Copies of this chain bind each other. A is one copy, B any other.
Amino acid sequence: MTVTLADVAARAQVSPATVSRVLNGNYPVATATRERVLRAVDELDYVLNGPASALAAATSDLVGILVDDIADPFFGVMASAIQHEIGGPGGRAGGERLAVVCNTGGAPARELTYLTLLQRQRAAAVIMTGAVAEDETHTAAVCAKIRKLTEAGTRVVLCGRPPATGTGAVTLAFDNLGGARRLTEHLLGLGHRRLGYIAGPGEWTATRHRLAGHRAALGAADVAEDPRWTVHGGCDRRSGYDAARELLLRDPSLTAVVAANDSLALGACAALRDLGLRIPEDVSVAGFDDLPFSLDVVPSLTTVRLPLAEAGARAGRIATGREEPPPGGLATVRGELMARGSSGVPRP
Protein backbone atom coordinates (compact mmCIF):
# COMPACT_ATOMS: atom_id res chain seq x y z
CA MET A 1 0.00 0.00 0.00
CA THR A 2 1.00 3.54 -0.56
CA VAL A 3 2.05 5.45 2.52
CA THR A 4 -0.17 8.30 3.65
CA LEU A 5 0.18 11.32 5.78
CA ALA A 6 -1.43 9.43 8.64
CA ASP A 7 1.38 6.88 8.51
CA VAL A 8 3.92 9.64 8.81
CA ALA A 9 1.99 11.12 11.72
CA ALA A 10 1.90 7.79 13.52
CA ARG A 11 5.60 7.24 13.00
CA ALA A 12 6.49 10.74 14.17
CA GLN A 13 4.03 10.49 17.04
CA VAL A 14 2.18 13.63 16.13
CA SER A 15 -1.22 14.40 14.66
CA PRO A 16 -1.84 14.44 10.92
CA ALA A 17 -2.46 18.15 11.17
CA THR A 18 1.04 18.74 12.41
CA VAL A 19 2.53 16.78 9.56
CA SER A 20 0.49 18.82 7.13
CA ARG A 21 1.77 21.96 8.78
CA VAL A 22 5.43 21.13 8.50
CA LEU A 23 4.96 19.99 4.92
CA ASN A 24 3.24 23.21 3.98
CA GLY A 25 5.48 25.36 6.09
CA ASN A 26 2.69 27.84 6.49
CA TYR A 27 2.31 27.56 10.24
CA PRO A 28 4.65 27.64 13.20
CA VAL A 29 5.88 24.24 14.34
CA ALA A 30 8.49 23.54 17.01
CA THR A 31 11.85 22.76 15.52
CA ALA A 32 12.16 19.44 17.33
CA THR A 33 8.75 18.34 16.11
CA ARG A 34 9.49 19.42 12.59
CA GLU A 35 12.66 17.41 12.50
CA ARG A 36 10.92 14.33 13.84
CA VAL A 37 8.29 14.66 11.12
CA LEU A 38 10.82 15.26 8.39
CA ARG A 39 12.73 12.20 9.49
CA ALA A 40 9.59 10.10 9.36
CA VAL A 41 8.82 11.44 5.89
CA ASP A 42 12.26 10.44 4.81
CA GLU A 43 12.23 7.01 6.37
CA LEU A 44 8.84 6.19 4.94
CA ASP A 45 9.70 7.75 1.60
CA TYR A 46 6.43 9.58 1.74
CA VAL A 47 5.12 11.53 -1.23
CA LEU A 48 2.24 13.92 -0.73
CA ASN A 49 -0.97 13.02 -2.51
CA GLY A 50 -1.50 15.96 -4.82
CA PRO A 51 -5.16 15.41 -5.64
CA ALA A 52 -6.12 14.96 -2.00
CA SER A 53 -4.22 18.05 -1.07
CA ALA A 54 -5.72 20.05 -3.89
CA LEU A 55 -9.20 18.89 -3.01
CA ALA A 56 -8.93 19.83 0.62
CA ALA A 57 -7.24 23.14 -0.03
CA ALA A 58 -9.37 23.93 -3.07
CA THR A 59 -6.31 24.89 -5.07
CA SER A 60 -3.41 23.11 -6.63
CA ASP A 61 0.23 23.66 -7.50
CA LEU A 62 -0.32 23.16 -11.19
CA VAL A 63 0.55 26.03 -13.49
CA GLY A 64 -0.30 25.69 -17.17
CA ILE A 65 1.59 27.41 -19.95
CA LEU A 66 -0.17 27.51 -23.29
CA VAL A 67 1.94 27.83 -26.42
CA ASP A 68 1.14 27.70 -30.11
CA ASP A 69 4.02 25.61 -31.26
CA ILE A 70 6.35 23.91 -28.92
CA ALA A 71 8.98 23.45 -31.62
CA ASP A 72 9.22 27.14 -32.42
CA PRO A 73 12.05 28.88 -30.56
CA PHE A 74 9.85 31.93 -30.09
CA PHE A 75 7.71 29.91 -27.70
CA GLY A 76 10.52 27.70 -26.55
CA VAL A 77 12.46 30.64 -25.16
CA MET A 78 9.44 32.08 -23.42
CA ALA A 79 8.20 28.78 -22.04
CA SER A 80 11.62 27.92 -20.81
CA ALA A 81 11.92 31.22 -18.96
CA ILE A 82 8.46 30.83 -17.44
CA GLN A 83 9.14 27.32 -16.26
CA HIS A 84 12.45 28.34 -14.84
CA GLU A 85 10.86 31.15 -12.88
CA ILE A 86 7.96 29.09 -11.62
CA GLY A 87 9.74 25.84 -10.99
CA GLY A 88 11.46 27.12 -7.91
CA PRO A 89 10.25 26.41 -4.40
CA GLY A 90 7.28 28.29 -3.12
CA GLY A 91 4.27 26.23 -4.04
CA ARG A 92 2.01 24.91 -1.39
CA ALA A 93 3.22 21.75 0.24
CA GLY A 94 6.56 23.49 0.65
CA GLY A 95 7.58 21.79 -2.54
CA GLU A 96 7.86 23.05 -6.02
CA ARG A 97 5.13 23.97 -8.40
CA LEU A 98 4.38 21.86 -11.40
CA ALA A 99 4.79 24.18 -14.36
CA VAL A 100 3.74 22.42 -17.51
CA VAL A 101 3.49 23.46 -21.09
CA CYS A 102 0.53 22.68 -23.29
CA ASN A 103 0.91 22.71 -27.03
CA THR A 104 -2.16 24.06 -28.79
CA GLY A 105 -0.68 23.70 -32.26
CA GLY A 106 -2.27 27.04 -32.99
CA ALA A 107 -5.70 25.43 -33.01
CA PRO A 108 -8.36 27.49 -31.23
CA ALA A 109 -10.26 24.35 -30.29
CA ARG A 110 -7.26 22.85 -28.53
CA GLU A 111 -6.71 26.08 -26.70
CA LEU A 112 -10.20 25.86 -25.30
CA THR A 113 -9.75 22.21 -24.45
CA TYR A 114 -6.57 22.88 -22.50
CA LEU A 115 -8.21 25.73 -20.67
CA THR A 116 -11.01 23.40 -19.60
CA LEU A 117 -8.58 20.71 -18.55
CA LEU A 118 -6.61 23.22 -16.51
CA GLN A 119 -9.82 24.52 -15.00
CA ARG A 120 -10.75 20.97 -14.10
CA GLN A 121 -7.43 20.55 -12.33
CA ARG A 122 -8.08 23.76 -10.43
CA ALA A 123 -4.79 25.11 -11.72
CA ALA A 124 -3.17 27.79 -9.60
CA ALA A 125 -2.34 29.83 -12.65
CA VAL A 126 -2.44 29.79 -16.41
CA ILE A 127 -0.10 31.68 -18.69
CA MET A 128 -1.19 32.10 -22.26
CA THR A 129 1.26 33.05 -24.96
CA GLY A 130 1.06 33.21 -28.67
CA ALA A 131 -0.76 34.59 -31.56
CA VAL A 132 -4.43 35.24 -31.37
CA ALA A 133 -6.64 34.91 -34.36
CA GLU A 134 -9.04 37.74 -34.93
CA ASP A 135 -12.07 35.53 -34.90
CA GLU A 136 -15.06 36.94 -33.06
CA THR A 137 -16.66 33.73 -31.86
CA HIS A 138 -13.45 32.09 -30.79
CA THR A 139 -12.23 35.17 -29.00
CA ALA A 140 -15.50 35.40 -27.15
CA ALA A 141 -15.33 31.75 -26.12
CA VAL A 142 -11.77 32.11 -24.86
CA CYS A 143 -12.63 35.27 -22.95
CA ALA A 144 -15.57 33.55 -21.31
CA LYS A 145 -13.31 30.69 -20.29
CA ILE A 146 -10.69 33.04 -18.90
CA ARG A 147 -13.31 34.84 -16.89
CA LYS A 148 -14.45 31.55 -15.37
CA LEU A 149 -10.90 30.74 -14.44
CA THR A 150 -10.15 34.07 -12.80
CA GLU A 151 -13.47 33.93 -10.97
CA ALA A 152 -12.49 30.55 -9.59
CA GLY A 153 -9.27 32.04 -8.27
CA THR A 154 -6.88 30.98 -11.00
CA ARG A 155 -4.40 33.68 -11.93
CA VAL A 156 -4.35 34.18 -15.67
CA VAL A 157 -1.52 36.02 -17.37
CA LEU A 158 -1.37 36.77 -21.07
CA CYS A 159 2.20 37.05 -22.21
CA GLY A 160 2.95 38.53 -25.60
CA ARG A 161 -0.71 38.55 -26.44
CA PRO A 162 -3.26 41.32 -26.74
CA PRO A 163 -5.33 41.94 -23.60
CA ALA A 164 -8.61 40.14 -22.99
CA THR A 165 -10.66 42.95 -21.53
CA GLY A 166 -13.06 42.35 -18.72
CA THR A 167 -11.74 38.90 -17.90
CA GLY A 168 -9.57 39.67 -14.91
CA ALA A 169 -6.48 38.47 -16.73
CA VAL A 170 -3.21 40.38 -16.49
CA THR A 171 -1.54 41.20 -19.78
CA LEU A 172 2.06 41.69 -20.82
CA ALA A 173 1.71 42.82 -24.41
CA PHE A 174 4.50 43.34 -26.90
CA ASP A 175 4.68 46.69 -28.59
CA ASN A 176 4.54 45.25 -32.08
CA LEU A 177 3.46 48.46 -33.65
CA GLY A 178 6.20 50.58 -32.13
CA GLY A 179 8.90 48.03 -32.80
CA ALA A 180 7.90 47.62 -36.42
CA ARG A 181 7.79 51.34 -36.82
CA ARG A 182 11.29 51.85 -35.46
CA LEU A 183 12.59 49.09 -37.68
CA THR A 184 11.22 50.61 -40.84
CA GLU A 185 12.43 54.03 -39.73
CA HIS A 186 15.91 52.55 -39.54
CA LEU A 187 15.66 51.36 -43.12
CA LEU A 188 14.27 54.68 -44.25
CA GLY A 189 17.11 56.38 -42.46
CA LEU A 190 19.57 54.37 -44.50
CA GLY A 191 17.97 55.76 -47.61
CA HIS A 192 15.58 53.00 -48.67
CA ARG A 193 12.42 54.15 -50.41
CA ARG A 194 11.22 50.95 -52.06
CA LEU A 195 10.56 48.39 -49.35
CA GLY A 196 8.81 45.06 -49.71
CA TYR A 197 6.92 43.67 -46.72
CA ILE A 198 6.36 40.02 -45.89
CA ALA A 199 3.42 39.87 -43.51
CA GLY A 200 2.38 36.89 -41.41
CA PRO A 201 -1.01 35.21 -41.46
CA GLY A 202 -3.63 37.83 -42.19
CA GLU A 203 -5.92 36.98 -39.32
CA TRP A 204 -3.38 37.40 -36.52
CA THR A 205 -3.32 40.53 -34.44
CA ALA A 206 0.48 40.57 -34.34
CA THR A 207 0.56 40.56 -38.13
CA ARG A 208 -1.77 43.48 -38.30
CA HIS A 209 0.06 45.53 -35.68
CA ARG A 210 3.47 44.99 -37.21
CA LEU A 211 2.21 45.92 -40.63
CA ALA A 212 0.56 49.00 -39.15
CA GLY A 213 3.86 50.05 -37.59
CA HIS A 214 5.64 49.61 -40.88
CA ARG A 215 3.06 51.74 -42.65
CA ALA A 216 3.13 54.37 -39.93
CA ALA A 217 6.86 54.83 -40.53
CA LEU A 218 6.32 55.00 -44.26
CA GLY A 219 3.55 57.54 -43.85
CA ALA A 220 5.57 59.71 -41.50
CA ALA A 221 8.37 59.82 -44.06
CA ASP A 222 5.99 60.58 -46.87
CA VAL A 223 6.93 57.44 -48.73
CA ALA A 224 4.10 56.27 -50.93
CA GLU A 225 3.46 52.55 -50.82
CA ASP A 226 2.81 50.33 -53.77
CA PRO A 227 0.20 47.60 -53.18
CA ARG A 228 2.56 45.14 -54.86
CA TRP A 229 5.02 45.59 -52.01
CA THR A 230 3.08 43.60 -49.43
CA VAL A 231 2.65 39.83 -49.39
CA HIS A 232 0.67 37.89 -46.81
CA GLY A 233 1.31 34.26 -46.02
CA GLY A 234 2.40 31.87 -43.30
CA CYS A 235 4.91 32.50 -40.59
CA ASP A 236 7.71 30.09 -41.34
CA ARG A 237 10.91 30.00 -43.34
CA ARG A 238 9.27 28.45 -46.37
CA SER A 239 6.65 31.19 -46.58
CA GLY A 240 9.39 33.76 -46.32
CA TYR A 241 11.23 32.16 -49.19
CA ASP A 242 8.20 32.14 -51.43
CA ALA A 243 7.12 35.61 -50.43
CA ALA A 244 10.53 37.14 -51.17
CA ARG A 245 10.61 35.56 -54.63
CA GLU A 246 7.13 36.86 -55.28
CA LEU A 247 8.07 40.33 -54.10
CA LEU A 248 11.12 40.62 -56.35
CA LEU A 249 9.24 39.16 -59.23
CA ARG A 250 6.59 41.83 -58.85
CA ASP A 251 9.10 44.64 -58.47
CA PRO A 252 12.82 43.97 -59.05
CA SER A 253 13.64 47.50 -58.02
CA LEU A 254 12.99 46.88 -54.32
CA THR A 255 16.03 47.67 -52.21
CA ALA A 256 14.83 46.23 -48.93
CA VAL A 257 12.60 43.45 -47.67
CA VAL A 258 11.06 43.63 -44.22
CA ALA A 259 9.62 40.43 -42.76
CA ALA A 260 7.11 40.13 -39.95
CA ASN A 261 9.40 37.73 -38.10
CA ASP A 262 12.87 36.24 -38.16
CA SER A 263 11.91 32.90 -39.67
CA LEU A 264 10.29 34.63 -42.60
CA ALA A 265 13.35 36.84 -42.92
CA LEU A 266 15.61 33.81 -43.00
CA GLY A 267 13.60 32.31 -45.81
CA ALA A 268 13.73 35.63 -47.60
CA CYS A 269 17.52 35.66 -47.33
CA ALA A 270 17.70 32.21 -48.91
CA ALA A 271 15.43 33.31 -51.74
CA LEU A 272 17.47 36.43 -52.42
CA ARG A 273 20.67 34.43 -52.51
CA ASP A 274 19.07 32.00 -54.93
CA LEU A 275 18.14 34.96 -57.11
CA GLY A 276 21.77 35.98 -57.13
CA LEU A 277 21.25 39.04 -54.95
CA ARG A 278 23.72 40.00 -52.26
CA ILE A 279 22.65 41.02 -48.74
CA PRO A 280 22.80 43.87 -47.94
CA GLU A 281 24.59 45.25 -51.02
CA ASP A 282 21.71 44.54 -53.38
CA VAL A 283 18.83 44.15 -50.98
CA SER A 284 18.62 44.75 -47.24
CA VAL A 285 16.63 42.34 -45.09
CA ALA A 286 15.09 42.77 -41.67
CA GLY A 287 13.15 40.51 -39.36
CA PHE A 288 11.38 40.71 -36.02
CA ASP A 289 11.74 38.89 -32.66
CA ASP A 290 15.51 38.41 -32.54
CA LEU A 291 15.43 34.67 -32.07
CA PRO A 292 18.72 33.03 -31.05
CA PHE A 293 19.68 32.06 -34.59
CA SER A 294 19.35 35.60 -35.92
CA LEU A 295 22.69 36.63 -34.56
CA ASP A 296 24.24 33.49 -35.90
CA VAL A 297 23.31 33.62 -39.56
CA VAL A 298 25.46 35.28 -42.21
CA PRO A 299 25.07 38.19 -42.44
CA SER A 300 23.57 38.59 -39.00
CA LEU A 301 20.00 39.73 -39.13
CA THR A 302 18.78 43.23 -38.47
CA THR A 303 15.67 42.78 -36.37
CA VAL A 304 13.67 43.94 -33.38
CA ARG A 305 14.63 42.26 -30.17
CA LEU A 306 11.66 41.17 -28.12
CA PRO A 307 12.64 40.43 -24.52
CA LEU A 308 11.04 36.99 -24.64
CA ALA A 309 12.87 35.54 -21.68
CA GLU A 310 12.43 38.61 -19.51
CA ALA A 311 8.74 38.87 -20.30
CA GLY A 312 8.27 35.17 -19.63
CA ALA A 313 10.04 35.43 -16.30
CA ARG A 314 7.92 38.38 -15.32
CA ALA A 315 4.75 36.59 -16.34
CA GLY A 316 5.87 33.68 -14.20
CA ARG A 317 6.40 35.91 -11.21
CA ILE A 318 3.03 37.57 -11.60
CA ALA A 319 1.34 34.22 -12.05
CA THR A 320 2.83 32.97 -8.82
CA GLY A 321 2.05 36.15 -6.95
CA ARG A 322 5.67 37.09 -6.42
CA GLU A 323 5.32 40.32 -8.34
CA GLU A 324 2.53 42.83 -8.37
CA PRO A 325 0.59 42.99 -11.61
CA PRO A 326 1.15 46.21 -13.53
CA PRO A 327 -1.31 49.04 -12.89
CA GLY A 328 -4.51 48.47 -14.78
CA GLY A 329 -3.45 44.89 -15.35
CA LEU A 330 -1.71 45.82 -18.55
CA ALA A 331 1.93 46.46 -19.36
CA THR A 332 3.41 47.01 -22.76
CA VAL A 333 6.81 45.55 -23.42
CA ARG A 334 8.93 47.42 -25.92
CA GLY A 335 11.07 45.85 -28.59
CA GLU A 336 14.55 47.12 -29.25
CA LEU A 337 15.95 47.74 -32.70
CA MET A 338 18.99 45.58 -33.43
CA ALA A 339 20.70 47.00 -36.49
CA ARG A 340 23.04 44.34 -37.83
CA GLY A 341 24.72 43.15 -40.99
CA SER A 342 21.68 42.41 -43.11
CA SER A 343 20.74 46.05 -43.54
CA GLY A 344 22.81 48.68 -45.31
CA VAL A 345 22.50 51.64 -47.61
CA PRO A 346 20.54 50.92 -50.79
CA ARG A 347 22.29 50.36 -54.08
CA PRO A 348 22.34 53.48 -56.24
Which partner residue on chain B sits nearest A100 by CB separation? B100
Q: Which residues of B contact A50 (CB under 8 A)?
A: 51, 54, 117, 120-122
Q: Contacting A51 at CB < 8 Å: which of B2, B54, B72?
A: B54
Q: Are B117 and A95 in contact (CB under 8 A)?
A: yes
Whether A103 touches B105, Cβ cut-off 8 Å, given contacts A76-B71, A110-B87, is no
A123 to B102, CA, bound (A): 16
Closest residue of chain B to A45 (Cβ to Cβ) is: B148
Say how far A200's CB is from chain B's closest CB, in angstroms. 19
Given the contacts A120-B95, A270-B298, A79 and B103 also touching, CB distance less than 8 Å: yes
Q: Could you give, for residues 57-91 of chain A, a 1 whenever the CB lies within 8 Å of some chain B CB and a 0 otherwise? A: 00011101000011111001101100110010000
Chain B residues, Cβ within 8 Å of A84: 105
User: Within 8 Å CB of A221, what residues of B?
Assistant: none
A296 within 8 A of B: yes
A116 interface contact, C-beta 8 A: yes
Indicate if A96 sits at the interface (CB-CB under 8 A): yes
Contact of A64 among B100, B237, B273 (CB under 8 A): B100
What is the copy number of this chain in the assembly? 2
Chain B positions within 8 Å of A29 at CB level: none
In the complex, A47 has a CB within 8 A of chain B: yes
B87 contacts A76, C-beta separation under 8 Å: no
A55 interface hit (Cβ, 8 Å): yes
Is A248 part of the contact surface with B, judged by Cβ < 8 Å?
A: no
Give the complex CA separation of A292 and B101 in angstroms.
22
A291 nearest in chain B by CB position: B71
Please, how many angstroms separate the alpha-carbon atoms of A95 and B122 in the complex?
16
A interface residues (Cβ-Cβ under 8 A, vs B): 2, 45, 47-55, 60-62, 64, 69-73, 76-77, 79-80, 83-84, 87, 93, 95-96, 98-103, 105, 110, 113-114, 116-122, 148, 152, 237-238, 270, 273, 292-293, 296, 298
Can you name 17 A-B residue pairings with CB atoms under 8 Å? A48-B120, A50-B121, A51-B51, A51-B53, A51-B55, A55-B55, A70-B76, A70-B80, A71-B77, A71-B79, A87-B113, A95-B117, A100-B102, A101-B102, A101-B103, A237-B293, A237-B296
Given contacts A47-B120, A70-B70, 19 further A-B contacts (CB under 8 A): A49-B120, A50-B120, A50-B122, A51-B51, A51-B52, A51-B53, A62-B121, A70-B80, A70-B101, A71-B76, A71-B80, A83-B102, A84-B105, A87-B113, A96-B113, A98-B114, A98-B121, A99-B102, A238-B296
